[in-house]
């Protein structure tokens, strides 16, 4: 279980993905983008729009079951990207770098960019926007839903 949780809203994710796109402007022209599924799909769509990239490929590497890490398995390779030359790899987060190592092995000539990075994995990517501590679990908007919060005064010890 993570020591800290960091909730990212849809608005914040959109702003952060656009900030990453701004940092990646110098890489243009690009042949395409490879989204690391599932977390990289939405940031990749935002970045593809901002950089006016039409070819969006995907790669699927399964490493998580809820909050538990397992051995990485490539379940869908990024066939259209070749060795990655002219391509941008986009993921939501680099954590330990396990997924990034696998994807880099498939696309050694691509530029790897993430919206968020943790210390153990940030050396595996070329660009990122925000660093969070290693013991933080990021709650992305697709993992959460708005719900009623009990007022502080009604919580145990809130008086």
pLDDT at 108: 98
pLDDT in tens, 57-81: 999 999 766 667 678 999 999 999 9
The SS3 call for residue 74 is strand
Catalytic residues: 91-92, 95
Is the domain spanning 4-145 CATH 3.40.640.10? The answer is no
Phi and psi at 29, nearest 5°, equal -75, 145
Regarding pTM above 0.85, the answer is yes
List Cα–Cα distances, 52 to 30, 32, 37, 65, in angstroms.
Answer: 9, 10, 20, 34
Those residues of the chain that have pLDDT short of 70 are 1, 64-67, 69, 157-159
Question: What are the structural domain ranges in the chain?
Answer: 4-145
pLDDT in the model for residue 154:
87
Question: Distance between CA atoms of 15 and 136, rounded to whole angstroms?
Answer: 20
């Amino acid at each position: 279980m993570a020591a800290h949780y960091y909730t990212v809203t849809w608005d914040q994710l959109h702003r952060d993905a656009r900030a990453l796109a701004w940092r990646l402007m110098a890489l243009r022209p690009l042949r395409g983008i490879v989204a690391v599924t599932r977390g990289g799909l939405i940031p990749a769509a935002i970045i593809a729009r901002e950089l006016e990239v039409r070819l969006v490929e995907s790669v699927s590497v399964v490493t998580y079951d809820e909050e538990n890490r397992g051995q990485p398995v490539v379940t869908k390779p990024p066939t259209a990207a070749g060795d990655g030359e002219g391509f941008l790899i986009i993921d939501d987060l680099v954590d330990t770098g396990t997924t990034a190592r696998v994807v880099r092995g498939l696309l050694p000539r691509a530029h790897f960019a993430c919206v968020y990075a943790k210390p153990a994995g940030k050396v595996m990517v070329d660009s990122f926007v925000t660093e969070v501590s290693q013991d933080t679990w990021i709650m992305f908007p697709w993992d959460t839903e708005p719900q009623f919060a009990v007022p502080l005064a009604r919580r145990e010890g809130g008086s």
